[in-house]
Structure 1
Amino acid sequence: MSYLPSNPEMATLAELLAQYPRSGILLWKLLENVKASFSPQDRGMGELLIAYISGLNQSAFCYEVHKRSAMQLGVEAVVFGQLKVDIDRANMETKLKPILQFVKKLTLTPQLISQADVKAIFEAGWDERRFLDAICLCAVVNCMNRLAIGIGIDQTISDSPTLLSVTRLVRVGLLH
């Protein structure tokens, strides 16, 4: 439940946006735009990135929601545990690993990012647009995680009365 005195029963970012639509609509639109840039076969990768970043931020609710979405899109459950231990040894496409290394550094130690980090991404076959999409996704997810944690609505799925979903945002008129 939230720390907001006006609505201590608030449980999701969707509810926050319903109460304060100007506070986050641009974040949702940016997230929607970045996620739309992933091709249908890459949507699992996008959900994996969101879950991974949310895990780095210790945003339990967002991590679980996006982990479940990634698994529904074909990402193996074992990968999430492996990423917590060692990205390089995770059972996944090698091409993803430099992006995961980069978003980890961007999230936890952004001052340490170097040209070598970016070079590894391009050498793995990523193009400039996909690199920018990964940065935008990381930035938006970091912001949304901190928003959820900051107002007290980040919780585990078992504690949540409802899952945060695009359907819910559509229902309250914030997405089309």
Structure 2
Amino acid sequence: MSYLKSLPAETTLLQVFRAHPEPARHLLAFHETLLRGDSPFTVAEREMIAAYVSGVNSCGYCHGIHTVTAETFGVPAGVLAAAVADLGSAPVPEKLKPVLAYAGKLTRTPSRMTEADAEAVFAAGWDEQALHDAVLVCALFNFMNRMVEGLGIEADAAYATTSGERLAETGYAGLARFLDD
């Protein structure tokens, strides 16, 4: 239930963005750059990082939407739930596990990050740009999870499916056109 009394009780993030369009435009542009721009990671992998961080944070709204988005881009169904439950045994590509482990540790205990954590990402074959991108996606979704939870935004599985599929189709830049509707 939304804590913003000027909006309906069952407010979605898009409704919050419409009510506050100026910061939303910048936030959506940042999402578009990080999640759809050039990166060593595929779009599916970046959406996996977003969904994984959201799952670690128990943010059902973001985890649901970004799981659907990742699956739309080819991540097999159930992989993200398995990764959140137990990354070590999850059917995540081995090359991506150290990246998700890094994002998970950065989410849970940011002050405990070490050079060894970064070295595990590099040892899996990723470069500095990949580490940078993973950190930014992780940071963005820690921010988004706190925004969603702090505003009391919730959604059911049907909305997560609709929103996730819309994200896959229009991207984050495409959402900006909904701000003026």
3-state SS of 2:163 partner: coil
Is it true that 1:171 corresponds to 2:146 in the alignment? no
Aligned ranges 1:1-176 → 2 under 5 Å? 1-9=1-9, 11-37=11-37, 42-158=42-158, 163=163, 165=167, 166=172, 167-173=174-180
Residue 159 (structure 1) shift? 6.7
* 1:169 to 1:9, Cα distance in 2 relative to 1, 3 A: farther
Paired with 2:30 and 2:179, the residues of 1 have a C-alpha distance of: 18
Deviations 1:88-137 (A, max 9, x none): 22212211011100100111111111110001111111111111111111
Contact 1:87 1:101 in 2 (8 A): yes
What code does the residue aligned with 1:46 have? R
Check the 8 A contact 1:27/1:140 in 2, yes or no: no
Identify unmatched segments of 5+ residues in structure 2.
none
Q: Which SS does the other structure have where 1:92 is aligned?
A: coil
Task: Give the RMSD, CA atoms, in angstroms.
Answer: 2.6
Q: State how far apart, in whole Å, the 1-side matches of 2:128 and 2:180 are.
A: 34
Distance 1:121 1:37 in 2: 21
CA shift in 2, pair 1:146/1:41, >3 Å: closer
Which SS does the other structure have where 1:11 is aligned?
coil
Shift of 1:28: 2.1
Q: 1:62 to 1:8 in 2, by over 3 A?
A: same
Calculate the TM-score normalised by the size of structure 2: 0.84
Residue 173 of structure 1: CA displacement? Answer: 4.5
Matched-pair identity in %: 34
8 A Cα contact 1:3 1:152, kept in partner: yes
Question: TM-score scaled by structure 1?
Answer: 0.86
Distance 1:39 1:173, change over 3 A: farther
Distance 1:41 1:109, change over 3 A: closer
Segments of structure 1 that go 5 or more residues without pairing to the other structure are none
| Conservation of the 8 A alpha-carbon contact between 2:40 and 2:130 | no
Change (3 A) 1:99 1:135: same
Number of residue pairs matched?
174
